[in-house]
Amino acid sequence: MKVSFDDLHKAFESRVRLGIMSALAVNDSLDFTSLKEFLDVTDGNLATHIRKLEKEGFIGVKKSFIDNKPNTKYHMTPGGKKAFEEHLKVLEEIIKSQK
Partner 1 sequence: MKKEQDYIQDIAEIRSMMERSSKFLSLSGWAGIMAGIYALAGAWIAWSVLGFHPDEIFYSPPDLPQIILLALGVLTLALVTVIYFSWRKSDKRGEKAWNATSKRLLASMSVPLLAGGILLVILTAKGLIGLTAPFMLLFYGLALYNAGNYTISEVKLMGAVQIGLGLMNSWFVEYGLLFWAIGFGAVHIVYGIYMHFRYER
> Contact residues for partner 1 (CB under 8 A)?
5, 13, 15, 18-19, 22-23, 25-27, 30-31, 34, 37-40, 88, 91-92, 94-95, 98
DSSP structure string for 58-90? SEEEEEEEETTEEEEEEEE-HHHHHHHHHHHHH
Q: Give min distance, CB of 65 to partner 1, in A.
A: 19
Q: Give min distance, CB of 98 to partner 1, in A.
A: 5
Q: Give min distance, CB of 81 to partner 1, in A.
A: 13
Instruction: List, edge to edge, every strand of the sheet that includes 59-66.
Output: 30-31, 69-76, 59-66
Residue 65 to residue 82: CA distance in whole angstroms: 30
Question: Which of 63/96 has CB closer to partner 1?
Answer: 96
